[in-house]
Amino acid sequence: MATEIERKFLLVSDAWRQLVVRAETFRQGYLSNNPRASVRVRIANDTATLNIKGMTIGLQRPEYEYTIPLAEAAELLDQLCERPLIEKTRHFVEFGGNLWEIDEFHGDNAGLVVAEVELDSPDQVIMMPAWAGKDVSHVERYYNVRLTQYPYNRWTAEERGY
């Protein structure tokens, strides 16, 4: 079984922007979301994937990903996926021997920026950059699938400050 292990952080500054090595534009949507798993379609630049991810809350969960034809992914996004779609730019930053992915959201989630780092094990120790703030790995509203149900533009000031 494929497993994703990642931690997610809010950002406390834009200092990460100086360290970006590349970026990709994502457009993604969800075909299914139930208590056990979500099924996502994503177009990242010119590559399309179908992704199935377990709904376990926390650092570790099952994940499967398959390449699909770009034209079919576009049709799925346009015709079958829940709204709003997730639109974001993913910036890749190398820091402390890890590749950090910083997602800058657009559309209904504009203003939200979070950093993720994938780990080899849940207890892996990582070097924390000064621009990484509060760990929100266990806070569901920061999961992309939740952002389609409760987008950032509807969050209260208190929720945005967490």
Structure-model confidence comparison of residues 46 and 57, the more confident one? 46
Determine the structural domain holding residue 155 and report its residue range: 3-160
User: Tokens representing 106?
Assistant: 């657009």
pLDDT > 90 fraction of the chain, expressed in percent and rounded: 79
What's the total number of domains in the chain? 1
User: By three-state DSSP, how is residue 24 classified?
Assistant: strand
pLDDT digits (tens, 9 = 90+) for 29-41: 999 988 888 899 9
pLDDT digits (tens, 9 = 90+) for 91-106: 999 999 999 999 999 9
User: Tokens representing 26?
Assistant: 């994502």
Q: Which of 30, 66, 143, 150 is catalytic?
A: 30
Structure-model confidence comparison of residues 82 and 54, the more confident one? 82
Burial of 127 (0-12, 13-18, 19+ CB in 10 A): exposed
Distance (Å) of CA 28 to CA 43, 44, 53, 76, 120: 6, 8, 14, 10, 25
Residue 8 sits in a domain whose CATH number is 2.40.320.10
Cβ atoms within 10 A of the Cβ of 82, count? 14
Signed CA dihedral, 97, 123, 62, 9: sign only: negative
Separation between Cα atoms, residue 134 and residue 122, nearest integer Å: 17
- Catalytic annotation on 150? no
**96, 40 Cβ separation under 8 angstroms:** no
Q: Given the DSSP bridges, would you call strands 37-44 and 98-105 parallel, antiparallel or unpaired?
A: unpaired
pLDDT value at position 154? 96
Cα atoms in the Cβ-side hemisphere of radius 13 Å centred on 110: 3
Check residue 128 and report its DSSP letter: P
